[in-house]
Structures are given as structure tokens and as C-alpha cells.
Amino acid sequence: MKKLWIYLAGIGLAACNGNTAKHLSDGVWQAKLHRKDGADIVFNFDVRDSIGKPVLFVLNATDKLLVDDVKQQGDSVFIKMPFFDSEFKAKLNSDSALEGVWIRHLADKDVSIPFTATAGNADRFPVNKPAAANVTGRWATQFVSPKDKDKAPSTAIGEFKQVGNLVQGTFLTTTGDYRFLEGVVDGDTLRLSTFDGSHAYLFTAQVGKDSISNGRFYAGIGDGLEYWSAVKNDTARLPDEKTIATMKPGHEQLDFSFPDLNGNKISLKDDRFKDKVVIITLMGSWCPNCMDETGFLSKWYEKNKDRGVEVLGLAYERTPDFEKSKKSLEGFLKRFDVKYPVLVTGVTPADPEKGEKTLPQLTGIKGFPTTIFINKKGKVQEVHTGFSGPGTGEHYEQFQADFNRLTTDMLNAK
């Protein structure tokens, strides 16, 4: 970081010497996060000019994430991601080459990883051979941590679509999906990656006709690594999302009171919620699946709020500090134009007692987001753990159909 600031101090001198200023080249760039183990996490972004200033879109399969906080000072470039409190600080070595760091601001510290990017390279991964297999379909998947070999594998379902060498897809889990994965099958080698400012994932494996083996899953800035394998299985299913967390026996209603971003305490006993269907989302500004659900709920609420329905967010931020939580939430909620109240629980997602401290009537909080449906009598009708977002294709379409059916049934009930 010292080199970067020394460089910034020399910008004016360079200008006086008549050096030509460098600018981010328009078009698609290939970017890499350089892990210490050599497993570079690759992604692409597209730079555009917007009324005289650069903006960029992070590209993952069919998803384009707008990043409009891009600043250039001399040869230094600062890119602030719209969510998840992360940013890039880099130097333009030329119009088509960036070098710097990606920084994540966590609750108690900052962590970073080296970053480079090259303009004019729309490929995510190189392709040298025709694909030896086609991974299109549904795969029963197991993940095992090398640090926890004695623990039972975690399960997921991989769903992929392959055209030629190119692959898009995701992994479905009981607590959500891995969002938009993109990559290639090069010979018998599968490579997939994604980046959104929080998720920074790389998957590699060897593919066969009905099996995927020798998988490696590299996650994030540190040394996160899991082994994975999969077997093709068109009938593979995850546990019912409505059974993962439920109301405790003898309980039918939730009872809580938390402050909104202005510090005003809000409770389900308030007149605003009386005789209405209430949808509660347990979420956090750090959570990519919560981002997808918030995008859906914000638009849905605007279309349906006059039907006698309310939406209420309960935020579990990475710090118990109210002001820091508020700051993290403000940008997140502004981006999605959220008009329903979001309350700060003051409890972190890492707290093993988060359920007991905030919603003791539940058997626990097993994942984010969790969505709770309350009928007009104030009773909890269903609890859904996880969220199948737009990266899951037909599962997202099914989610929307089920969501609308359930809320309509609740609104029509006497």
C-alpha cells in the first residue's frame, strides 16, 4: 500500500513533465485475484463511459453487476463495490493493464489479495482442447474440507448448461445457491468461477460422462479449500426448505422489538401490521443471496403493498455496533430502493446464539436469508430457509410462483 500512496504523491510531477495520462480502456477486461496457493480466481468486467466518467459491469454468466463508484486520480484507480464493503485500489501500468489489491473491510479488520487485470481479453479461461464430456444436467455433489475429514460431507446439487466448451450454472444448497458460475470444459478439465464483491470462488475438476472427480473449491482471499465430487443424477433433491427451521412446539407467533435505521423501535404489535399478511426476511448486507432476495422483495412489495401485505427485514450485520451496521445497510438498501422497514438486531450472523437472542420461538436460524410468512391472525404459517436466486434458472421461476401462490392464499384466507 505504501508504494501506491507514493505513486499518488508523484502524479502532479508526472503531469508537469508532460507525461500522457493513462485511462481505463473501454471494453471487456480479464481480472485475476492471486491467491498464495496459485489458484487464481478469474472474472471479467466491462468498462463503459457514462457521461464522461467510467463505470464498469462485473460479468458472471448472464449477470451484469453495475459498479458506478469508479475514480481515477492520475494513474491510480479506486473501485468501490456497491455491496459487501469491499474495494479495489490499483495502478494503471498502461491503458490496458491494472495492478493492485482487492480489500475486504470486515467487522474487526481489513484483509486483501493481489489483483491484476488486462483489457481486451473477453475469455474467462483459455480453451486448448475440445470438451471431452458435456456436463449439462443435474449433479448430486459432495464437499469435504481437508481440515475436517472426520465430518460428514456437505451436500449440494450442481446444475449446469454446456454449449461447446462454455459452461454456466450454479450449486444449490439448503441455505441458498452459489449464484452465477461461468467457465469452460477444456479437454476433461472443468473450470468455473464467480466474483461479486463477496463471493470469490474457483472450482476445478476432472469430468467424465456421469461423474466429476478430483474437484477443488477455492474460496476467497485466504486459504479456503474444499474437495468436491459429483455424480450425475436427474432426480437429486435437497431437503424441504420448510423443514430446516420451524416454530418450536407450543409457539405460533413471533415476539420481537428492534430499531429501524432511524433508531425507532418497531414490533409486530404495531398498528402497521395489524390484520395484514407479514413477510419477514432475516438478512444481512454481507450476504449475496440476501442481495438477490432483497432485489426481488423490493420490487414485489411496490407492486403488492396495497393488497394488505407488509414486508419487514431483520438485519444480522457483522458487527453489533448500531452505527456501523446502519452505515453498511444504507448503501445496500438504497441500491435496491427498499421502501419497507429494515431493523437492526444488533446480533451477528456468527453468533451461535443468534436465534435464541432474537427469535427464541424458532428452532434456530440455519441460513441467510430465511423468510417467515405470517398470516392475518399474526400466526407463523411457514418458514423458508435459503433462497434460490436468478442464477438458478427454473428454480427461481418456481420460487416466484410458489411465493405468489402462498401470499395470495394468505391474503384470501378469512
What is residue 289's predicted lDDT score, i.e. its pLDDT?
92
**Measuring CA to CA, how many Å separate 381 from each of 278, 304, 407?**
10, 19, 10
Bridge-partner residues for 90, per DSSP?
A: 77, 100
Q: What pLDDT digit, counting tens, does each position of 245-280 carry?
A: 999 999 999 999 999 999 999 999 999 999 999 999
Residue 112: HSE in the Cβ half-sphere, 13 Å Cα cutoff: 12
| pLDDT average, residue stretch 234-248 | 92
| pLDDT, tens digit (0-9, with 9 covering 90-100), for 161-196 | 999 999 999 999 988 899 999 999 999 999 999 999
Class of residue 148 by CB neighbours under 10 A (exposed 0-12, middle 13-18, buried 19+): exposed
Average pLDDT, the chain: 91
The share of the chain scoring above pLDDT 90, in percent, equals 81
Q: Dump strand ranges (E) for 176-303.
A: 176-177, 181-186, 189-195, 200-207, 211-219, 224-232, 257-259, 265-267, 277-283
Q: Which of 76, 74, 210, 30 is nearest to 136 (CA)?
A: 210
Task: Identify which has the larger pLDDT, 22 or 365.
Answer: 365
**3-class secondary structure, 396:** helix
What is this structure's pTM? 0.88
For the segment 50-58, the average pLDDT, to the nearest whole number, is 89
Amino acid at 118: T
Identify the three-state secondary structure at position 193.
strand
pLDDT at 70: 95
Q: Which residue has the higher pLDDT, 146 or 129?
A: 129
| pLDDT for the residue 20 | 56
The predicted structure's pLDDT at residue 151:
82
How many CB atoms are closer than 10 A to CB 277?
A: 24
Helix then strand count (H, E) for the chain reads: 6, 25
Backbone dihedral angles phi then psi of residue 15, each to the nearest 5 degrees: -65, -40
Q: Tell me how far apart the alpha carbons of residues 74 and 70 are, in angstroms, rounded to a whole number.
A: 13
